[in-house]
Chain A
Amino acid sequence: MEKIRIVIDQEGRATIGVECVKGTKCVDITKAIEEALGEKTGEARTREFYEVQHGEARH
Protein backbone atom coordinates (compact mmCIF):
# COMPACT_ATOMS: atom_id res chain seq x y z
CA MET A 1 0.00 0.00 0.00
CA GLU A 2 1.20 3.50 -0.83
CA LYS A 3 0.49 6.18 1.71
CA ILE A 4 0.81 9.96 1.58
CA ARG A 5 0.66 12.17 4.64
CA ILE A 6 0.43 15.93 4.22
CA VAL A 7 0.64 18.38 7.10
CA ILE A 8 -0.29 22.02 6.43
CA ASP A 9 0.64 24.60 9.03
CA GLN A 10 -0.85 28.02 9.72
CA GLU A 11 2.06 29.82 8.04
CA GLY A 12 1.38 28.51 4.55
CA ARG A 13 3.83 25.62 4.58
CA ALA A 14 3.16 21.99 3.78
CA THR A 15 5.17 18.88 4.54
CA ILE A 16 4.54 15.88 2.33
CA GLY A 17 5.64 12.41 3.36
CA VAL A 18 5.19 9.28 1.30
CA GLU A 19 5.58 5.58 1.96
CA CYS A 20 5.69 3.27 -1.00
CA VAL A 21 6.98 -0.01 -2.27
CA LYS A 22 9.59 1.29 -4.67
CA GLY A 23 11.75 4.25 -3.76
CA THR A 24 11.95 5.95 -7.13
CA LYS A 25 8.19 5.89 -7.48
CA CYS A 26 7.89 7.83 -4.22
CA VAL A 27 9.34 10.87 -5.93
CA ASP A 28 7.02 10.51 -8.91
CA ILE A 29 3.97 10.26 -6.67
CA THR A 30 4.68 13.41 -4.73
CA LYS A 31 6.20 15.49 -7.52
CA ALA A 32 2.83 16.41 -9.06
CA ILE A 33 1.38 17.28 -5.65
CA GLU A 34 4.43 19.32 -4.72
CA GLU A 35 4.29 21.30 -7.97
CA ALA A 36 0.56 21.90 -7.61
CA LEU A 37 0.94 23.13 -4.03
CA GLY A 38 3.74 25.60 -4.61
CA GLU A 39 7.49 25.94 -4.30
CA LYS A 40 9.65 23.21 -2.84
CA THR A 41 11.86 24.54 -0.06
CA GLY A 42 13.35 21.32 1.25
CA GLU A 43 13.57 17.60 0.70
CA ALA A 44 14.77 14.57 2.60
CA ARG A 45 15.15 10.99 1.54
CA THR A 46 15.29 8.63 4.44
CA ARG A 47 17.27 5.42 4.71
CA GLU A 48 14.08 3.58 3.71
CA PHE A 49 14.09 5.39 0.39
CA TYR A 50 17.51 4.09 -0.53
CA GLU A 51 16.79 0.63 0.79
CA VAL A 52 13.70 0.15 -1.35
CA GLN A 53 15.34 1.87 -4.31
CA HIS A 54 18.05 -0.76 -4.29
CA GLY A 55 15.59 -3.59 -4.01
CA GLU A 56 16.34 -4.49 -0.43
CA ALA A 57 13.65 -5.53 1.96
CA ARG A 58 12.05 -2.78 4.01
CA HIS A 59 11.92 -2.80 7.84
Chain B
Amino acid sequence: MSHIAEIKIQIRDLDALTAAAKKLGLEFRRDQKQHRYYAGKMSPCDHALTIAGAIGAGAGEIGVVRKEGSTYGLNWDSYGGGGGLVAKVGQKAEKLVQGYAVEVAVREAMRKGFRVVSNRVRQDGKVELELVK
Protein backbone atom coordinates (compact mmCIF):
# COMPACT_ATOMS: atom_id res chain seq x y z
CA MET B 1 0.00 0.00 0.00
CA SER B 2 1.40 3.36 -0.90
CA HIS B 3 -1.15 5.52 0.91
CA ILE B 4 -3.10 4.68 4.05
CA ALA B 5 -5.82 6.72 5.75
CA GLU B 6 -7.71 6.17 8.99
CA ILE B 7 -11.33 7.27 9.19
CA LYS B 8 -13.84 7.61 12.00
CA ILE B 9 -17.08 6.52 10.36
CA GLN B 10 -19.91 9.04 10.42
CA ILE B 11 -23.41 8.20 9.25
CA ARG B 12 -24.56 10.79 6.72
CA ASP B 13 -26.10 8.83 3.84
CA LEU B 14 -29.55 7.56 4.70
CA ASP B 15 -29.85 5.60 1.45
CA ALA B 16 -26.71 3.64 2.34
CA LEU B 17 -28.01 3.14 5.89
CA THR B 18 -31.31 1.87 4.51
CA ALA B 19 -29.51 -0.60 2.23
CA ALA B 20 -27.25 -1.84 5.04
CA ALA B 21 -30.19 -2.21 7.40
CA LYS B 22 -32.22 -4.15 4.85
CA LYS B 23 -29.42 -6.71 4.48
CA LEU B 24 -29.63 -7.30 8.24
CA GLY B 25 -33.41 -7.71 8.21
CA LEU B 26 -34.26 -4.20 9.34
CA GLU B 27 -36.66 -1.72 7.82
CA PHE B 28 -35.93 2.02 7.60
CA ARG B 29 -38.93 4.14 8.55
CA ARG B 30 -38.39 7.65 7.31
CA ASP B 31 -39.79 10.42 9.53
CA GLN B 32 -40.83 8.10 12.34
CA LYS B 33 -40.36 10.54 15.21
CA GLN B 34 -40.28 8.16 18.14
CA HIS B 35 -38.68 4.79 18.65
CA ARG B 36 -39.36 2.08 21.18
CA TYR B 37 -36.21 1.39 23.17
CA TYR B 38 -37.03 -0.67 26.23
CA ALA B 39 -40.15 -2.25 27.67
CA GLY B 40 -42.33 -0.20 25.37
CA LYS B 41 -40.79 3.15 26.43
CA MET B 42 -40.48 5.70 23.64
CA SER B 43 -37.71 8.16 22.80
CA PRO B 44 -37.60 10.94 20.17
CA CYS B 45 -35.76 10.46 16.87
CA ASP B 46 -35.80 11.71 13.26
CA HIS B 47 -36.17 8.29 11.63
CA ALA B 48 -36.27 4.74 12.92
CA LEU B 49 -35.06 1.26 12.10
CA THR B 50 -37.33 -1.60 12.99
CA ILE B 51 -37.06 -5.35 12.67
CA ALA B 52 -38.80 -6.27 9.45
CA GLY B 53 -42.06 -8.06 10.17
CA ALA B 54 -41.77 -7.66 13.95
CA ILE B 55 -44.98 -6.97 15.82
CA GLY B 56 -45.73 -6.26 19.45
CA ALA B 57 -44.35 -3.99 22.14
CA GLY B 58 -41.37 -6.27 22.79
CA ALA B 59 -39.67 -5.58 19.48
CA GLY B 60 -36.86 -3.05 19.79
CA GLU B 61 -36.28 -0.13 17.45
CA ILE B 62 -33.24 1.98 16.65
CA GLY B 63 -33.67 5.72 16.63
CA VAL B 64 -31.78 7.54 13.88
CA VAL B 65 -31.11 10.97 15.33
CA ARG B 66 -29.71 13.93 13.44
CA LYS B 67 -26.68 15.52 15.05
CA GLU B 68 -24.54 18.54 14.25
CA GLY B 69 -22.84 18.64 10.87
CA SER B 70 -25.44 16.56 9.01
CA THR B 71 -24.41 13.34 10.71
CA TYR B 72 -26.72 10.84 12.37
CA GLY B 73 -26.45 8.88 15.57
CA LEU B 74 -28.01 5.52 16.39
CA ASN B 75 -29.93 5.46 19.67
CA TRP B 76 -31.07 2.15 21.06
CA ASP B 77 -30.92 -0.09 24.10
CA SER B 78 -29.18 -3.44 23.78
CA TYR B 79 -30.20 -4.57 27.27
CA GLY B 80 -31.61 -8.08 27.23
CA GLY B 81 -30.97 -8.40 23.52
CA GLY B 82 -32.68 -5.11 22.69
CA GLY B 83 -35.95 -6.76 21.72
CA GLY B 84 -34.26 -8.85 19.02
CA LEU B 85 -31.96 -6.10 17.75
CA VAL B 86 -28.69 -7.50 19.12
CA ALA B 87 -29.17 -10.65 17.06
CA LYS B 88 -29.48 -8.47 13.96
CA VAL B 89 -26.94 -5.68 14.44
CA GLY B 90 -24.56 -6.95 17.15
CA GLN B 91 -24.05 -5.81 20.72
CA LYS B 92 -22.83 -2.35 19.69
CA ALA B 93 -24.63 -2.07 16.34
CA GLU B 94 -21.25 -2.90 14.80
CA LYS B 95 -22.77 -5.01 12.02
CA LEU B 96 -24.98 -2.12 11.00
CA VAL B 97 -22.14 0.41 11.05
CA GLN B 98 -19.82 -1.95 9.18
CA GLY B 99 -22.54 -2.67 6.62
CA TYR B 100 -23.16 1.05 6.23
CA ALA B 101 -19.46 1.70 5.63
CA VAL B 102 -19.31 -1.06 3.01
CA GLU B 103 -22.31 0.43 1.17
CA VAL B 104 -20.78 3.91 1.17
CA ALA B 105 -17.30 2.77 0.16
CA VAL B 106 -18.52 0.50 -2.64
CA ARG B 107 -20.80 3.17 -4.09
CA GLU B 108 -18.05 5.76 -4.07
CA ALA B 109 -15.42 3.38 -5.45
CA MET B 110 -17.72 2.24 -8.25
CA ARG B 111 -18.12 5.87 -9.30
CA LYS B 112 -14.34 5.83 -9.79
CA GLY B 113 -14.56 2.68 -11.89
CA PHE B 114 -13.60 0.12 -9.26
CA ARG B 115 -15.25 -3.25 -8.76
CA VAL B 116 -15.49 -5.42 -5.66
CA VAL B 117 -13.28 -8.52 -5.69
CA SER B 118 -13.66 -9.47 -2.03
CA ASN B 119 -16.04 -8.58 0.81
CA ARG B 120 -15.61 -10.76 3.88
CA VAL B 121 -15.82 -10.80 7.66
CA ARG B 122 -12.43 -11.77 9.10
CA GLN B 123 -11.97 -14.03 12.09
CA ASP B 124 -11.32 -10.97 14.27
CA GLY B 125 -14.74 -9.58 13.34
CA LYS B 126 -13.40 -6.83 11.10
CA VAL B 127 -14.87 -6.47 7.62
CA GLU B 128 -12.34 -6.46 4.79
CA LEU B 129 -13.24 -5.09 1.39
CA GLU B 130 -11.04 -5.23 -1.69
CA LEU B 131 -11.69 -3.30 -4.87
CA VAL B 132 -9.69 -3.12 -8.09
CA LYS B 133 -9.66 -1.16 -11.31
**What is the interface of chain A, defined by CB distance below 8 A to chain B?**
1-20, 23, 26-27, 29-30, 32-34, 36-46, 48-49, 52
* CB pair A8 B5 closer than 8 Å: no
A51 to B10, CA, bound (A): 33
**What is the interface of chain B, defined by CB distance below 8 A to chain A?**
1-10, 12-13, 90, 92, 94, 97-98, 101-102, 104-105, 107-109, 111-112, 114, 125-133
A1 to B6, CA, bound (A): 23
**Chain A residue with Cβ nearest B99:** A8
14 chain-A/chain-B pairs, Cβ below 8 angstroms? A4-B109, A8-B126, A8-B127, A18-B1, A19-B1, A19-B2, A23-B2, A27-B3, A33-B105, A37-B105, A39-B10, A43-B6, A45-B4, A49-B2
| Known contacts A2-B114, A2-B132, A43-B4; is-contact A10 B9 (Cβ 8 Å) | no
